[in-house]
Amino acid sequence: MQNPLSEPDPSSKLPYIVKKRLHNALTGIGEASRLIAETIIQIFKPPWQFDLLLKQLLLIGYNSLSVVLVSGFFTGMVLGVQGYIQLKPYAVEGSVAQFVSVSVVTELGPMITAFVLSGRIGASITAELSTMKVTEQIDALEVMGTNPVKYLVVPRFLACSLMLPTLTIFSTFAGIFGGYVAVVTLFDFNGDFFILQVQDHMVIRYVIISLIKATTFGMAIASVGCYKGFSISSAGGAEGVGTATTGSAVTSLISILVLDFVLGATLK
């Protein structure tokens, strides 16, 4: 028979665990906010190192373009197929182009692009910065009189904030094209009518909402990636890098979903 004294009652630990997690979460939010504030201050302080920004723009933009296009295209195809099937029983399948284009522009374009980049770029930023922290490279930067936030965070933050909306434009076009291909080839939908419907129902407000969302998601991905990379302990080692990278991907995804809801509600 098990001795009741040998195993502490797990329920007695619960308040402690909840308190500790809450404390860690609030500390994390505070530290991340401070990092974002310092990043914004450093953006406006000379000297500006455009070579570092260009490198990040290429790394984030050019290298992610193909995966964003493919993701956008297939998302559009799925929307086209599902939209057509769901609308047909009500005899309004003619609105499928409106359904696809408005959904892709306002929601799925920025979301899919942000999801792809949070996994690809956000995690890679965290892995790179946390490895630099563990191997004392960030300490080395500081000793050499270089501000790590300015040198490492600012180019990544700006590049993500600029490339997310740019890639979202590509993703959105790919999505609408995907929807077009799906309904035209699978359901013999009139292609000219599809294009006409997209033109008729697309308003500039949707595009602005899409770009605001994409820019905000870009800032969030870079901030979470950099914060998770910087917050690792120097003694964290390989395990710490792995944990930080996983945490970064998960936190980015959740942040994107929360921000999407907040922006969706406020930019109605």
Partner 1 sequence: MISIKNVRKAFSEKKVLNGLDLDIPQGETLVIMGRSGCGKSVLLKIIAGLLPVDSGEVWINGTEISHLSKNGLNQIRRKIGMLFQSAALFDSMSVAENVAFMLDQHTQMSKQEMRKIVDEKLALVDLDGVQELRPAELSGGMRKRVGLARALAFNPDIILYDEPTTGLDPVTCTEINELIRGLHEKLEVTSIVVTHDMHSAFSVATLMVMLHEGKQAAYGTPEALINDEDPTLQQFILFGAPDQILNIDNPTLKEFTGRNVS
Q: Residues interacting with partner 1, by CB under 8 A?
A: 131, 135-137, 139-140, 142-147
Using CA atoms, how far apart are residues 266 and 268, in angstroms rounded to an integer? 6
| Residue 1 burial (10 A CB sphere; 0-12, 13-18, 19+) | exposed
Does residue 32 contact residue 138 with C-beta atoms inside 8 Å? no
Q: How many helices (H) and strands (E) does the chain have?
A: 12, 0
> Given the complex with partner 1, which of 95 and 137 has the nearer CB atom?
137
Q: Smallest distance from the beta carbon of 237 to partner 1, in angstroms?
A: 12
Q: Smallest distance from the beta carbon of 223 to partner 1, in angstroms?
A: 21
> Given the complex with partner 1, which of 142 and 200 has the nearer CB atom?
142
Q: Smallest distance from the beta carbon of 126 to partner 1, in angstroms?
A: 16
| Residue 141 burial (10 A CB sphere; 0-12, 13-18, 19+) | middle
Q: Smallest distance from the beta carbon of 258 to partner 1, in angstroms?
A: 32
User: Hey, CA dihedral for 40, 223, 225, 118, is it positive or negative?
Assistant: negative
> Given the complex with partner 1, which of 45 and 205 has the nearer CB atom?
45
> Given the complex with partner 1, which of 77 and 244 has the nearer CB atom?
244
Using CA atoms, how far apart are residues 43 and 141, in angstroms rounded to an integer? 18
Query: In this structure, what are the phi and psi dihedrals at residue 109, rounded to the nearest 5 degrees?
Result: -60, -60
Q: Smallest distance from the beta carbon of 152 to partner 1, in angstroms?
A: 11
Does residue 228 contact residue 251 with C-beta atoms inside 8 Å? yes
> Given the complex with partner 1, which of 143 and 265 has the nearer CB atom?
143
